[in-house]
Structure 1
Amino acid sequence: MLLYHAGFDVIKEPDIHYGRKNADFGQGFYTTPDKEFAYRWAKESVGKKTIVNYYELDTDGLVVKYFSRSEEWFEYIYANRHLKPDELEADVIVGPIANEIIYDTLGITTSGFLDKKESMELLMIGPEYMQVVIKSERAKAQLKWLSSDEITSQQLAEYQKLMAKENEEFQRMFAKKFKEME
């Protein structure tokens, strides 16, 4: 499986224990199998290079949990967002990114402001991008760094235009769905 990770460093040895515990699939090293999305998701920071790392994951012998946009997926995300213990025993989790991570929804989707049914309905709208999370040391041992690219400011600006256009469309869909729920 080819995977990509955007950030500010060349990461040959990822830390699966670094990062938010309340992310979509809990703590782990987040990647995507979608190269184009990795570039579009990349950010710029003053004084830092923007890097996309390329990896290959050998899934032989690993427990891989696949999620689709479903109630099971939502329940797992909702539990992680509310810091419930992660009881899923998987080395790797593959599934959709919750769109409120990609687009600005003012934090209302899984904050408790809405009931669970309403939250799930909102998380089901918009484009579906996939993420692959390396959760265990065993999976990390089977993740091989291949190379990295530095993204120029000009390239970033072009990708950010694409994301801004997509965000506008998502905001329209989100507002429409939110209004229907009133």
Structure 2
Amino acid sequence: MKLYHGSTVDIPHVDLAKSKPNKDFGRAFYLSDDEQQALELAQFRAEFEETTPIVNVYEFDEALFEKFQIKRFEAYTEEWAHFIYDHRIEPNGRTLHDYDIVYGPIANDRIGAQITRYKQGYISFEEFLKRIQYIKGITFQYAFCTQRAIDKLIKQTSR
């Protein structure tokens, strides 16, 4: 399967240590099977950084999924929201699981404000779950969380 990573740089070799902490599923290399989604993310970053968008393309053999520890969230659920919340607020930026790959919906870009509202008691967890759902509709992401999994991504091209 083809997977895409929107960026402003070509990434021939993924270095997990360069991944940002406190993301939806922890420190990981995030990809999409939707090229348009990756392009939109790359364009957003490029506009912010005043540079050129780049979509990195990787190939991943789906048969390898059975060789990895994978966590799948097929929909917006309370478990998904707790998983994201815990990773977003983890004070040391640690990844709080042992999965090689996590697959699930992308959270809303304004999640930080919703975390603050929930932590301060202004909204319930049920309301938090509703508010962190992606505005443009449900879209999914793959988080490659271990070097072992990342090593199976085969770089194809950059666009």
Fold match (TM-score > 0.5): yes
The aligned counterpart of 2:69 is 63
Matched, 1:82 2:97: no
Once the two structures are superposed, residues 102-127 of structure 1 have per-residue CA deviations (whole angstroms, 9 ceiling, x without a partner) of xx47x321122434232112124631
The aligned counterpart of 1:109 is 114
Quick one: which amino acid aligns to residue 70 of structure 1? Answer: T
* Secondary structure of 1:54's aligned partner: strand
Give, in whole Å, the separation in 2 of the partners of 1:148 and 1:55.
9
Quick one: which amino acid aligns to residue 144 of structure 1? Answer: I
The percent identity for this pair of structures is 29
The aligned counterpart of 2:147 is 137
The aligned counterpart of 1:38 is 38
| Pairwise CA distance, 1:20 | 2.6
TM-score by length of 1: 0.72
The answer on whether the counterparts of 1:6 and 1:39 sit within 8 Å (CA) in structure 2 is yes
Paired residue total: 144
* Secondary structure of 2:56's aligned partner: strand
Quick one: which amino acid aligns to residue 131 of structure 1? Answer: Q
Give, in whole Å, the separation in 1 of the partners of 2:89 and 2:26.
10
The answer on whether the counterparts of 1:55 and 1:145 sit within 8 Å (CA) in structure 2 is yes
Unaligned runs of 5+ in 1: 150-182
The aligned counterpart of 1:91 is 100
Once the two structures are superposed, residues 72-110 of structure 1 have per-residue CA deviations (whole angstroms, 9 ceiling, x without a partner) of 1011001001106534221111111101x2xx47x3211
Matched, 1:5 2:22: no
Matched, 1:14 2:17: no
Give, in whole Å, the separation in 2 of the partners of 1:125 and 1:38.
15
Unaligned runs of 5+ in 2: none
* Secondary structure of 2:55's aligned partner: strand
Cα RMSD of the aligned pairs, angstroms, is 1.9
The answer on whether the counterparts of 1:54 and 1:146 sit within 8 Å (CA) in structure 2 is yes
Given candidates 53, 59, 84, the residue that maps to 1:50 is: 53
The aligned counterpart of 1:174 is none
TM-score by length of 2: 0.81
Structure 1 segments, 4+ long, off by >3 Å, are 84-87
